[in-house]
Amino acid sequence: MPEVVVRPFPLKSPLRVLSSLRLTVVCLGLGMLLIFLGTLAQVHLGIHAVQARYFQSLIIFWSPPGASWKIPVLPGGYLLGTVLLVNLIAAHAVRFQLTKKKIGIILLHFGVILLLIGQLLTGLFARETQMRIDEGQTAGYSEAPREVELAVIDKIDPNFDQVVAIPEAVLTRGGTIQNPTLPFTLKIRQFMSNTHLAMRSQVAQARPSLATTGFGPNIVVEEAPRTVKDDERDLSAAYVEVNGVQDSLGTWLVSNAIPDAQPFTINGRTYELVMRQRRFYKQFALTLLDFTHDQYAGTDIPKNFSSRVRLVDLERNENREVLISMNDPLRYRGFTFYQSGFDNNDKTTILQVVKNPAMLLPYIACGLVAAGLLAQFSMHLFGFVRKRAR
Amino acid sequence: MKSPFFLRPPFLAPATAAAALLLGAGCNRSDERITVYRIPKETPSMPPQAGPRSAAPAAVHWTAPAGWAEQPASDFRKGSYFVTDADGKKADVSVISFPEAAGGLLANVNRWRDQLKLPPITNVVEAGTPMEVAGRDLFFVELVSEAPLSPDGSKSRILGGIFPAGAETWFFKMIGPDALVASQREVFKQFLQSVHPAEGEAAAGSAHPTMSANSGGSDTNAPTPPPIEAAQGAPVQYTLPPGWQTKPLSPMRLASFKATAPNGKETDISVVALPGIAGGDLQNVNRWRGQVQLAPIDEETLAKSAEHVQANGHDFLLVDLVSEQPLKGEKQRILAAILDEKQQSWFIKMTGEDAAVASQKSAFTDFLRGLKIP
């Protein structure tokens, strides 16, 4: 007769729920539903918004068009993943014993746990950026294709520029920005994620601009919804007021659509304001020596692209030539440089720069799962063979 | 005694990791932090902004045929010509450039089709023919409207050339009355053959702030607004009839509204001012008649059929046009008023489904009465 263990733990029933197979099935079912709905939603939202809203979220909310309220409708990817993770761990804690016979199952499950954790880490910490280099040019930074920053550049040093880079997340919050290295504050009067810009001379009846100086007063800005298309880029814009100790120096319009830096002088020191794609500087630089691109004979279909680059890293005394091609990325200092595109009549290369601290986890996880399956099935097989031999 | 479940080894390590992760996720991420760093000076990629916008160095050169009258170039137009025939009818030739692919070939061909009220096409092969110019492909397009859109009551025709050159795409376009433009086909093709990218300046942009992201190639958002010569008018003042809502302005519109009719359908109201008589009343009325597929009328018929609305000392010519056939699935109506005053023509126009526009007619005349023309 099975022994009933009565534990003095009030946690027993929540633990039973957490470790139940039913919860696993429910989570997997919801996961399938989530993937299905997420795939459909890509039509209207685009892949990036869907990833953020469906998969990198705890709860998915729905609100009817035009309404200000919203209701939760489905658990998001992070919540499902976390519940599955907890479920798996709890199941092990409650049900499984660490015996030789179960080694396959345990390895397999540990692999799955690692896969879940790896995915969470990737979602949280991986970053994909782009590096564009023209032939003969050297680039020491990559850019985020979907995120802007406001750079305030101090040009006083003859050899160096000191840059204060304010990321989009801070601009979105608005308010006043203060930085100990700057003798002034910046007031974000308005930030717009996506806009249409037009020259004021082209628009007959436009609202007066918030901008008082720089190129801003000549430009009419209309806010637009964020683009959902993969091949489009948001043209963000902001009105930024620079305030000295006593008074305002004026309000500038900045936009990543207009790469011109706008100078202003305070206490005899000149600074520049520019909005640009968010930059990530590296401790090394790449120079594009040559970009080549072959086509299949008689067509315009690209057969291969490759970039011959020189990698220079003064810190590590590295100075070598590298060939980056479609299936042969450059891996260096935790970054992977993939050949992603080209432009400008084959004179510019576009490299996808991926940094993912959890890059190895899926490989290890799959290895563990494979080992677990192998162990489990071999044990069955050997047992079966032995039985027949008898 | 066994230790509690959460202290047993299979649980402990992953649970700690998961807890640490979840906590970490809530913490301040690098996305939120302002960073300060020093970098070696960069060579300026853009020249400092020029004062007044001078004529941009054109990255593409061409030779205009004899007989084309050159017009001053504007912000958008890199080249502008008039072609006039013996009767004084005019066709307009424009040369503009947009950064990158400017939305692509198909989108631009469809933009032109839209100007001629032609439905969009999906297969670019139908749109025109490639021709070789200066060792590159130039896409030649010829389009004729189905409805009479020209001021003289004839159909309109577009001859166009789309020419990718370096970082920009160049658009050459002739638009005007069907017969005139058709007669210019060979001349226009010769004009296209004269197009060639300038040595060493193929990638040069325009001198004014470039309306494109500095990188990202084809990732740039939508082309810049189409070239429209807007009238430089003083602001117009108006009283908004109940139920009307203002809409974002487009380059041509001085005011823009929408009104939702009791049947739930939306109508569009625009106020536009153009310099001069802008083709004259008859031509504009016939242009609108074309939009609802009505046959053009003559001066006499117009004088007989049009109403007049007196408001604030202004005399508006009011026309009410209903399509005979359902267009876009339902009958369309245009209610429009024209006012010629102070060297400007004012056009106040409401378009939409027949009954929806009809329900707004009194609001429309109220709006005219409340309109203060500067």
Q: Are strands A348-355 and A335-343 parallel, antiparallel or unpaired?
A: antiparallel
A230 and A47 Cβ atoms separated by less than 8 Å: yes
Q: What is the mean pLDDT of residues A97-111?
A: 84
Q: How far is A64 from chain B (nearest CA, A)?
A: 19
Angle between helices B9-26 and A103-125 (to 10 degrees): 10
Nearest neighbour of B38 by CB, restricted to A89, A160, A197: A160
Nearest neighbour of A117 by CB, restricted to B17, B36, B217: B17
Distance in angstroms (rounded) separating the CA atoms of residues B63 and B191: 6
Res B219: pLDDT: 32
Question: For B23-49, how does the pLDDT look when each residue is reduced to its tens digit (9 = 90+)?
Answer: 444 444 556 788 888 887 765 443 333
Check CB contact of A169 with chain B, cutoff 8 Å.
Answer: yes
Res B56: pLDDT: 38
> Does the beta-carbon distance from A205 to B228 stay under 8 Å?
no
Distance in angstroms (rounded) separating the CA atoms of residues A191 and A150: 11
Q: How far is B219 from chain A (nearest CA, A)?
A: 5
Distance in angstroms (rounded) separating the CA atoms of residues B352 and B266: 7
Distance in angstroms (rounded) separating the CA atoms of residues B93 and B77: 10
Average pLDDT value over all residues in chain B = 72
- Chain A CB contacts of B230 below 8 Å: 202-204
Distance in angstroms (rounded) separating the CA atoms of residues B270 and B252: 9
Lowest mean pLDDT among A42-56, A374-388, B37-51: B37-51
Which residue in chain A has the smallest CA separation from B166? A344
Q: How far is A331 from chain B (nearest CA, A)?
A: 22
Distance in angstroms (rounded) separating the CA atoms of residues B194 and B149: 30
**CA distance readout (Å), A272 to A162, A243, A264, B211:** 10, 14, 6, 19
Q: For residues A119-132, b (16+ Cβ closer than 10 Å) or e, as one string?
A: bbbebeeebbbbbb
B105 and B122 Cβ atoms separated by less than 8 Å: no
Res B232: pLDDT: 38
Which residues are paired to B164 by β-bridges?
B169
A207 and A245 Cβ atoms separated by less than 8 Å: no
Distance in angstroms (rounded) separating the CA atoms of residues B210 and B63: 26
> Does the beta-carbon distance from B32 to A167 stay under 8 Å?
yes
Q: What count of other Cβ atoms lies within 10 Å of the Cβ of residue A211?
A: 23
B144 and B178 Cβ atoms separated by less than 8 Å: yes
> Does the beta-carbon distance from A124 to B25 stay under 8 Å?
yes
Q: How far is B22 from chain A (nearest CA, A)?
A: 9
Residue A189 has pLDDT above 50, yes or no: yes
Question: For B184-228, how does the pLDDT look when each residue is reduced to its tens digit (9 = 90+)?
Answer: 888 898 888 888 876 544 333 333 333 333 333 333 333 333 333
Phi/psi for B180 (5° steps) reads: -60, -50
Mutate which of A106, A202, A270, A276 to disrupt the B interface (most B C-beta within 10 Å)? A202
Nearest neighbour of A204 by CB, restricted to B18, B219, B233: B233
> Does the beta-carbon distance from A85 to B14 stay under 8 Å?
yes
Question: For A130-149, how does the pLDDT look when each residue is reduced to its tens digit (9 = 90+)?
Answer: 999 988 888 889 999 889 99
Distance in angstroms (rounded) separating the CA atoms of residues A213 and A298: 54
Q: For residue B285, give every residue at least 6 positions away whose Cβ sits within 8 Å of its Cβ, in sequence order, or none.
A: B297, B302, B306, B319, B321, B336, B338
DSSP B78-125: EEEEEEE-TT--EEEEEEEEEETTTT-HHHHHHHHHHHTTPPP-S-GG
A270 and A262 Cβ atoms separated by less than 8 Å: no
A62 and A70 Cβ atoms separated by less than 8 Å: yes
Burial class (CB in 10 A: 0-12, 13-18, 19+), A197: buried
**CA distance readout (Å), A55 to A124, A137, A356:** 12, 38, 18
Q: How far is B128 from chain A (nearest CA, A)?
A: 19
Question: For B363-372, how does the pLDDT look when each residue is reduced to its tens digit (9 = 90+)?
Answer: 898 888 888 7
Q: What is the pTM of this model?
A: 0.51
Which residues are paired to B70 by β-bridges?
B81
> Does the beta-carbon distance from A124 to B31 stay under 8 Å?
no
Residue B267 has pLDDT above 80, yes or no: yes
> Does the beta-carbon distance from A181 to B249 stay under 8 Å?
no
> Does the beta-carbon distance from B221 to A163 stay under 8 Å?
no
Nearest neighbour of B14 by CB, restricted to A89, A194, A348: A89
Residue B54 has pLDDT above 70, yes or no: no
Residue B58 has pLDDT above 60, yes or no: no
Which A residues in the span 17-56 are in contact with B, Cβ-Cβ below 8 Å? none
- Residue bearing tokens 């963000």: A236
Q: How many CB pairs under 8 A join A and B?
A: 186
- Chain B CB contacts of A121 below 8 Å: 21
Check CB contact of A97 with chain B, cutoff 8 Å.
Answer: no
Q: How far is B175 from chain A (nearest CA, A)?
A: 21
Distance in angstroms (rounded) separating the CA atoms of residues A143 and A278: 5
A348 and A135 Cβ atoms separated by less than 8 Å: yes
Burial class (CB in 10 A: 0-12, 13-18, 19+), B189: middle
CA dihedral B106, B111, B116, B119 (to 10 degrees): 60
DSSP A247: S
- Chain B CB contacts of A132 below 8 Å: 215-217
> Does the beta-carbon distance from B220 to A86 stay under 8 Å?
no
> Does the beta-carbon distance from A170 to B34 stay under 8 Å?
yes
- Chain A CB contacts of B48 below 8 Å: 260
H and E: helices and strands count for chain B:
8, 17
Which residue in chain B has the smallest CA separation from A231? B219
Res B45: pLDDT: 40
Mutate which of B30, B221, B346, B373 to disrupt the A interface (most A C-beta within 10 Å)? B221
Closest CA to B91 of B65, B114, B119, B109: B65
pLDDT band with cut points at 50, 70 and 90 for residue A372: very high
- Residue bearing tokens 């683009």: A227
Which residues are paired to B160 by β-bridges?
B141, B173
> Does the beta-carbon distance from A165 to B236 stay under 8 Å?
no
* Higher per-residue confidence, B12 vs B340: B340
Q: What is the mean pLDDT of residues A255-267?
A: 87
Residue A28 has pLDDT above 80, yes or no: yes
> Does the beta-carbon distance from B10 to A15 stay under 8 Å?
no
Which A residues in the span 128-147 are in contact with B, Cβ-Cβ below 8 Å? 130, 132, 140, 143, 145
Distance in angstroms (rounded) separating the CA atoms of residues B279 and B116: 17
Nearest neighbour of A160 by CB, restricted to B36, B41, B49: B41
Mutate which of B6, B23, B39, B237 to disrupt the A interface (most A C-beta within 10 Å)? B39
Distance in angstroms (rounded) separating the CA atoms of residues A286 and A106: 45
Q: What is the mean pLDDT of residues A351-374?
A: 92
Question: For A106-126, how does the pLDDT look when each residue is reduced to its tens digit (9 = 90+)?
Answer: 888 889 989 988 988 888 888
DSSP A317-361: TEEEEEEEETTB-EEETTEEEEEEEEETTTTEEEEEEEE-TTTTH
B61 and B221 Cβ atoms separated by less than 8 Å: no
Distance in angstroms (rounded) separating the CA atoms of residues B151 and A143: 51
pLDDT band with cut points at 50, 70 and 90 for residue A168: very high
Res A218: pLDDT: 85
The type of residue at B112 is W
Q: How far is A76 from chain B (nearest CA, A)?
A: 15
B128 and B142 Cβ atoms separated by less than 8 Å: yes
> Does the beta-carbon distance from A350 to B236 stay under 8 Å?
no
Element (H, E) at A385: helix A361-389
H and E: helices and strands count for chain A:
6, 18
- Chain A CB contacts of B29 below 8 Å: 124
Distance in angstroms (rounded) separating the CA atoms of residues B273 and B279: 13
Which residue in chain B has the smallest CA separation from A254? B209
Give the rounded percent of residues in chain B with a pLDDT score beyond 70. 68
Distance in angstroms (rounded) separating the CA atoms of residues B333 and B322: 4
Q: How far is B350 from chain A (nearest CA, A)?
A: 19
Nearest neighbour of B215 by CB, restricted to A132, A181, A261: A132
List the alpha helices (DSSP H) in A51-192: 77-94, 103-125, 168-173
B60 and B163 Cβ atoms separated by less than 8 Å: yes
Res A6: pLDDT: 52
Q: Which pair of structure tokens corresponds to residue A304? A: 């291969």
Res A30: pLDDT: 94
Residue A215 has pLDDT above 90, yes or no: no
Q: How far is B324 from chain A (nearest CA, A)?
A: 35
A220 and A199 Cβ atoms separated by less than 8 Å: yes
